[in-house]
Amino acid sequence: MNEQLKYLKSALDQHPELKYVLTFGEWQTDFLRFYQSQTNYNISKDSSSLNATLYKGKKSCSFNIDHPDTQKIDEALKTAVDMIDTMPEDPDFVDVEDDLTLAEPRQIVNNIEALGLDEKTRILGDLAKRAAKYDFELYGTFICNYQTTHLLNSKGLDKTSTQSPIYLEVKAVHKDSQVTVLETFGGDDFKYFDEAAFGKSLLTKVALAQNPVVDVDPGEYEVILAPRCVAEFAQYLSYGMRAGSVDSHNSFFEGKLDEQLFPPSFSLTDDPTDPQMIRLDYGDQGHIYRPLKLIENGYFRAFMCGQYFHHKLGLPKNGNTGECLKVDAGNAKLEDMIKSVKKGLYISSLHYMNFINARETSLTGLTRDGTFLIEDGKITKVVNNLRFTERISEIFANVIEFEETAHTIPFSDNYGEFSVNSSRAPHARIKDFNITSSTRTI
């Protein structure tokens, strides 16, 4: 156990009137950002922080100490102990997390050490040379993180988890037209990175991007959503599956447990165990993180719920947080899905989505990084980026079919401390997707 964490725990154990949750986190990143097929900047960054929440009855207060030492801990603890009696009560607080179950130990490779900067720049340099033949330049990021979290509480919970996610995002941008296509890799095991397949897939998209650029009118389109889009829509849909959303009356799923809301082909699981994803051992309060079926053959099955809302709302506790979402694959081959579209769109990626009304799942957003026109079963043209305004519940209700394979899609969280998570999803064919305006730009 970290010395500072141990010090704070022993100090708190002198206060039997207090309950506590302590988190000590250490985080490092090596972050290569590139543009125009060259380095933009290289960043190495690290931090360590100790977070404590103290409870006295139904009163609580928290403090955070970056790069803690005993003097800072003594000061922060004294302040907190002195003030906790003055805090207003939260009548809904009952107790801290009591799930002491430990996850199966895993061997974690430190990918910052395993995947050096020279190897990153070699991979990017090779890809850049291949893209340059088509007048495309590369933009993106190649990141390795290494982070350890140690969580303790006054119920005896004592858990440590380590992650070392890798995130590679390569956007190929045409020098003149600015047409952009995207390829990504994410996971915690670089052995799943197939360099040849990655390059081949990127260049296949580059070839499609040579087509002429057109605009399309607003209206309802049959669309093929790339796995990244399906995963992102699923993430937004899952917002309403959080117990906190029910509590704030913003959940589409409130009162709909075990109702069929979607076609039988749609199943969604929060699965932290898939080795091809960035795995998680515990939820943020320390509850063991296990696969949880959220949508099963179109039926809504469970809210994601931690200790607090379990007591407040009476929902079953599972500790899931929706950070490892998987949409089940279907039966269709991608080429057949495209062939079946007479006139429609292939959408590669989404941008700047925001809820209009979370309870109704209505939102707006845009397409990005490769939107293509499908005519008579073939991708024929590049389309300027488009705005859609939709209800996500209707997007999934309008699924015609899913691809037979699911793909791992990494996402970076750029608000707060930089983190990487992943989802898995197949392509989806959707009817009546509501395009509301064109951006007139690519």
Partner 1 sequence: MKQKIKNIINKLAAPDVSFADVRITITDYESIFFMNANLRDYSSSKGSVAIGIRVLIDGCFGFAGSKDLSDSNIEKLISKARANAIHGAKFQKEKLTFPSLPAITGEYEHKPEIDPFAMPKAEKLEYLQGLATSIKPAGKIVHSYTAAEFERQEKYYANSEGSFNHMIVTNTLPMMMVVASDGKHTQSRTWPGHMSAGRAGFELFYQQKFEDNAELIIKEATDLLTADVITEEKADIIIGAGHLALQLHESVGHATEADRIFGQEISYAGKTFVKPSMLGNFKYGSDILNIYSDSTDPKGMGYSPMDDEGVPGRRVDIIKNGILMDQQTSRHIAHKLGLEPSSNMKASFADDFPLVRMTNLCIAPGKGSLAELIASTERGYFLDFTKTWSIDDNRNNFQFTTEIGYKIRDGRIVGIVKEPTYFGITPEFWNACDAICGEEEWAYHSTFHCGKGEPGQVMRLSHGVAPARFRDVNVSVKM
CB 207 within 8 A of CB 134: yes
Chosen residue from 3, 13, 74, 75 binding partner 1 by CB under 8 A: 75
Q: Minimum Å distance from CB 133 to partner 1?
A: 16
CA distances from 10 to 4, 21, 96, 111 (A): 10, 13, 18, 34
The CA R_g of the chain, rounded to the nearest whole Å, is 24
Of 109-128, which residues contact partner 1 (CB under 8 A)?
A: 117-118, 121, 124-125
Of the candidate spans 11-19, 41-49, 154-162, 402-410, the one that interacts with partner 1 by CB under 8 A turns out to be 41-49
Of the candidate spans 10-18, 191-199, 261-269, 352-360, the one that interacts with partner 1 by CB under 8 A turns out to be 352-360
Of 383-402, which residues contact partner 1 (CB under 8 A)?
A: 385, 387, 389-391
Q: Give 402 or 411: the residue with its C-beta nearer to partner 1.
A: 411
What 8-state DSSP symbol labels residue 359?
A: G
Which string of x and - marks every residue 143-162 that binds partner 1 (by CB under 8 A)?
A: x-------------------
Between CA 176 and CA 174 the distance in angstroms is 6
216 is a site residue for partner 1 (CB under 8 A): no
Q: Minimum Å distance from CB 19 to partner 1?
A: 15
Q: Minimum Å distance from CB 52 to partner 1?
A: 9
89 is a site residue for partner 1 (CB under 8 A): yes
Q: Give 265 or 438: the residue with its C-beta nearer to partner 1.
A: 438
**The two structure tokens encoding residue 80:** 């907190």
CA distances from 429 to 282, 290, 332, 335, 375 (A): 34, 30, 10, 11, 15
Q: Minimum Å distance from CB 395 to partner 1?
A: 12
CB 417 within 8 A of CB 379: no
65 is a site residue for partner 1 (CB under 8 A): yes
Number of residues that this document lists for the chain: 442
Q: Under 8 Å CB-to-CB from 432, ≥6 apart: which residues?
A: 220, 221, 222, 394, 398
Of 407-426, which residues contact partner 1 (CB under 8 A)?
A: 412-416, 418
Chosen residue from 296, 328, 336, 360 binding partner 1 by CB under 8 A: 360
Nearest to 186 by CA among 201, 160, 158, 167: 167
204 is a site residue for partner 1 (CB under 8 A): no
CB 8 within 8 A of CB 77: yes
Which string of x and - marks every residue 240-279 that binds partner 1 (by CB under 8 A)?
A: -------xxxx-----------------------------
Between CA 172 and CA 205 the distance in angstroms is 9
Of the candidate spans 80-88, 191-199, 298-306, 322-330, the one that interacts with partner 1 by CB under 8 A turns out to be 80-88
Of 5-34, which residues contact partner 1 (CB under 8 A)?
A: 29, 31-34
Q: How many residues bind partner 1 (CB under 8 A)?
A: 95
**The two structure tokens encoding residue 342:** 């007479």
> Helix-strand-coil percent breakdown of the chain, rounded to 5?
25, 40, 35
303 is a site residue for partner 1 (CB under 8 A): no
Residue 430 amino acid letter: I
43 is a site residue for partner 1 (CB under 8 A): yes
Of 329-348, which residues contact partner 1 (CB under 8 A)?
A: none
**The two structure tokens encoding residue 146:** 């290494």
88 is a site residue for partner 1 (CB under 8 A): yes
Strand partners, 136: 174
87 is a site residue for partner 1 (CB under 8 A): yes
What 8-state DSSP symbol labels residue 437?
A: E
